[in-house]
Structures are given as structure tokens and as C-alpha cells.
Amino acid sequence: MFKIEKKSKKNQARIGVLRTAHGEILTPFFMPVATQGTIKHISGEDMRKLDASILLSNTYHLMLRPGEELIKKYGGLHQFMNWEKPILTDSGGFQVFSLAGNKSKTGKSLVQLTSDGVKFKSYIDGKKYDLTPEESLRIQMDLGVDIAVCLDECVALPAERKYVEQSVALTTHWAAKTRKYLEQVKKTSSARDYGVAKEKKQKHVPLVHAVIQGGLDKELRLRSLRELVAIGFDGYNIGGLSVGETAKEMYKVLDYLTPEMPEDKPRYLMGVGYPENIVEAVKRGVDMFDCVIPTREGRHGRMFAWKKNSKKIPMGNTCATKTFYETIAIGNAKFAKDFSPINKDSKLPELRNLSKAYLHYLFKIKEPLGSRLASLNNLEFYLDLMEEIRQNLKNEK
């Protein structure tokens, strides 16, 4: 399922291959975020042209709308999105975290956590839902995804240790329930029950990842890891980071956590981050990434570009900073008469043939095409970054 091809001699970085029902993925890799089954302003065809190898969607949003039953009836999320490559779905745990701070009109929390799962009301129509660990995995199986994630509780930082400790215990408890349900499914379900890998015409059980929690507490992080490894999963996600801590604090967690993680399983740092954060995490042995930054920044007219046409990524022991790339604010007046291409080296003709002046104009008139072009630029930068990292490691002597 996962094979390491080479390890760096400078640090913990490694390159490998992750095999899924819908194809192989070279690691380390970045997953463009198609939260609700779509990347804002971007099509699956765009992602094919940019050589994206996997997309990420979210269980919570898809279960609310359009509903997993409709997607399953259509043939699964791959068919619904017209995407033939792998898909990973988050469990909805982060949405539990993000909704916990919201209150109804009566002042009551919209979310209730129990040992059995999460009770919440839809932000769309107020309908009540009871999302258990078993139900979360069932929904992801009905979607027919390649990699599913256990339901977990993501704690906002800073937080009191007692609460973080309770969160770790709850996440482990839910992971155990997920694993038990998975084993039952493998024994009793037919291929029709939870999706088929279309090209192979055989029963398709997704790879299942568990989420390591514990905030910034070393003892709790390592406890969470040990407990999840004892249960046994196909991969391990590092959750609960990039939610309020500094980059230095995040790196400190990775410094003690990744060396203890199973070497033969993929390591996924959830929701991270800026390019320098990704480089630093790769150097610490992380294999998988996702983040909304490329498209979110693109929609606000901020674009990533290599500095001085150079792709020299700092993969050595020096801490990576914003030295190998720059951020362009296309709304600045200086771009109004800049007729250079948006990206002269892009795989996409629209980015090669259209000018920065035109893109500046699109943002000034609030034309959605501007957001699309800037988002495409940023997604290409991130995917290119991962390719450069892989080649850097491959060529290391």
C-alpha cells in the first residue's frame, strides 16, 4: 500500500509511492481542497491539466448537501465529480471544531459531543444529525473514496490540558469504534454496499487513517499516537495544528512526533500550510498535505510565484523561510500596465497568454474569472512545489 523509495541523508524527508484503488500517488504530495465536491472556480479538467494526483473532499459538507445517498446512486463521488484519480475525505471532525464556537439564536451550542459521536444541527436548514464514528465511515464508503479518515475532535489552541486530555481519549475511543465497524464491513458487506473501484470491478474498502491529537502537549501527543497505532490503521494524520499556534510551535510538535510514527505508513499533516511550512514538514518526514491557502489567497488577488525564476528549495538543515518564492498582490496599481504573462512557464495557456494587467483589471471590475485565474496560478505553484521537492530528494546524493 505504501512504499518508501528513498530517504534523505540530511533529515527525515522521504519519497515514496502510495497505492490506492484509483491509482498510485508519488509522495510527498499536496491535495487541492474540493470541500463540497468542487474546488472554487476550478474544474476537474483543470486539475488534470495541472497533473494533480488526488483531491480532498469533506464528509460533513457532502452528507448535508447533496447527501451521500444521491452521490452513491450516481455511482460515487468519482463519477459525480468526473474525477478518475484518488479522493480523500476528511471525517468532518474539523467542522465539529469550527462549529463548536457558534451559537444558536437561543445561545445554545450547535454541537454536542458524546462518547457515541457528535450531535449537531445543519447550518443549512436546521435539521438534526447524529454523526457517529461508524456513520462517518459508512458515509465515506458510500461516497466510494480511496482514503477515509476517522472521526476526531479537533481542539482550538490554546486550551487547558484537562480538556485536551479528554479530547485525546475521545478521539481514541472513536477510532476504536471506527476500526471495529471497518472489520465488520469487510466480513459482511458486498461491493454494492459501499462503492466499487470502477476500473477494477472489485470490492473497494478505502484505506482508513486515524488522527493524532494532543495539542502542543508532548505527553498527550505521544499518548494519542501510541493508542492509535495499537488499534492499527493504514495511515496516521497529524491533526489539531495550524489552528492558532505559531509555526515554531508546530515544528516543535513535528520534531518529537514524526520520529515515533510508523515508518511504513503515510504521515499526513492536516490543513498546512504556506510553502515554507510544507518544506519544513517534509524535512521532518511528512508525506501528505492539504490546505485552502492556494485558492483562498487566489480569490483575494494574492498569487504565489518563484523568486527570480528560481526553484531552489531549501531542503537542507537551514529553516525554510519565504526566500524561494514571493507573493504578488495583483490589485496593486503597479500591475495596471504590466503586460508580462501571469505565468510564462505555466502548463495552462490562459496563464501563459493573459497578462498581469488583464488580471489586475479583472479584479478591479470584480469579474469571477480573476479569482479563477489567480487560484489556478496558486494551485499550479503548490503542485509544482511538491514535484520540485520530490525531484530534489530523488537527485540527492
Residue numbers annotated as active site: 90, 290
| Beta carbons within 8 Å of 39's beta carbon, 6+ residues apart | 32, 33, 46, 47, 55, 295, 375, 379
CB-based burial, 19-49: b 16+ in 10 Å, e otherwise: ebbbeebbbbbbbbbbbebebbbbebebbee
Give me the torsion for CA of 38, 354, 298, 372, rounded to 10°: -20
d(CA 37, CA 78): 9
Phi, psi of 37 (to 5 degrees): 85, 10
d(CA 337, CA 356): 8
Phi, psi of 18 (to 5 degrees): -110, 120
